[in-house]
């Protein structure tokens, strides 16, 4: 059964949001210009990156479930672009662990298990705990946390839009890592961001939205005050929902609801 999927592009850490555009709008230098340069000029955003973000946003919204086959031609049709950037986008996502390629079976969205989520959560929790310590060592301050504050407001404004809420939540935690001033830490966290987006999409609705909004606020307030103990306690409480949530059960329920 072929299902048409509506794609939206949202901002994930390290990216800027933009709309998928036809390939004709991507300018390429004339051969004479290119021969005089060592490198071809880069575009502000590539169609490949936009397509990758659209796939992740669709997964966060539940249009794709873990293990679902990702058909290159169908994605290209829904996005209104050629298959070439979609093929490259899927390869990019494969390199980030979001997509798995199986011989003779094509590309599929990453599998999600409770054990896998627990392992990933321990790693990202360790990174964010380090970010908390480094922000506190730098003295906290509202200006340093401005990006995370904007992301928290975006989460609150997302309403029932699951993909927008996930994107804002990912951005919130990414901005906390950015605020640490530790570029290596931030890069490592960004390497996990898209996997987290898929996982958090499954968990949307597990907690009342206003509880999450209040937890974001508490984490930020403690970090602004450079209260390391309070910030870590608030972060631990915020992350604790993963321990009780049955991700495998959520996937089964959503798959059953499709039938």
The residues, any chain, with a CB within 8 Å of residue 210's CB and separated by 6 or more, are none
Mean pLDDT across 168-181: 97
> Residues 201-214, buried b or exposed e (16+ Cβ, 10 A)?
bbbbeeeeeeebee
- The domain limits of the chain are 23-109, 114-246
pLDDT in tens, 67-84: 999 999 999 999 999 999
What confidence score (pLDDT) does residue 43 get?
47
pLDDT score of 135 more than 90: yes
pLDDT for 146-162, tens place per residue? 999 999 999 999 988 99
For residue 70, give every residue at least 6 positions away whose Cβ sits within 8 Å of its Cβ, in sequence order, or none.
55, 64, 90, 99, 106, 107, 108, 109
Instruction: Indicate if the pLDDT at residue 15 is higher than 80.
Output: no
**H-helix or E-strand containing 85?**
helix 83-95
Taking residues 61-71, what's their average pLDDT? 94
- The pLDDT of residue 16 is above 60: no
The number of residues making up the chain comes to 259
Region of poorest pLDDT, from 18-27, 67-76, 126-135, 208-217: 18-27
Confirm whether pTM is higher than 0.85. Answer: no
Q: Which CATH superfamily is domain 114-246 in?
A: GntR ligand-binding domain-like (1.20.120.530)
| pLDDT: which is higher, 23 or 38 | 38
Q: How confident is the model at residue 105 (pLDDT cuts 50, 70, 90)?
A: confident
3 by DSSP, 3-state: which? coil
Class of domain 23-109: mainly alpha
């Amino acid at each position: 059964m072929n299902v048409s999927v509506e794609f939206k592009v949202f901002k994930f850490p390290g990216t800027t949001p933009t709309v998928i555009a036809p390939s004709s709008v991507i300018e390429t230098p004339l051969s004479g210009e290119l021969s005089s340069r060592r490198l071809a000029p880069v575009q502000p955003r590539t169609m490949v990156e936009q397509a990758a973000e659209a796939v992740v946003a669709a997964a966060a919204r539940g249009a794709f479930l873990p293990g679902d086959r990702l058909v290159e031609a169908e994605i290209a049709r829904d996005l209104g672009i050629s298959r070439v950037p979609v093929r490259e986008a899927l390869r990019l996502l494969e390199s980030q662990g979001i997509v798995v390629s199986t011989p003779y079976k094509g590309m599929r969205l990453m599998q999600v298990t409770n054990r896998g989520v627990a392992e990933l959560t321990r790693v990202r929790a360790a990174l964010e705990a380090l970010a908390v310590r480094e922000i506190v060592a730098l003295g906290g301050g509202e200006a340093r946390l401005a990006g995370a504050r904007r992301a928290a407001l975006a989460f609150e404004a997302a309403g029932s839009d699951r993909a927008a809420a996930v994107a804002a939540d990912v951005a919130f935690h990414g901005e906390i890592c950015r605020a640490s001033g530790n570029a290596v830490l931030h890069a490592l966290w960004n390497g996990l961001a898209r996997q987290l987006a898929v996982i958090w999409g499954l968990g949307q609705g597990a907690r009342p939205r206003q509880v999450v909004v209040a937890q974001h606020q508490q984490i930020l307030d403690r970090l602004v005050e450079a209260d390391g103990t309070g910030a870590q306690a608030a972060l631990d409480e915020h992350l604790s929902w993963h321990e009780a949530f049955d991700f495998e059960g959520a996937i089964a329920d959503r798959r059953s609801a499709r039938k």
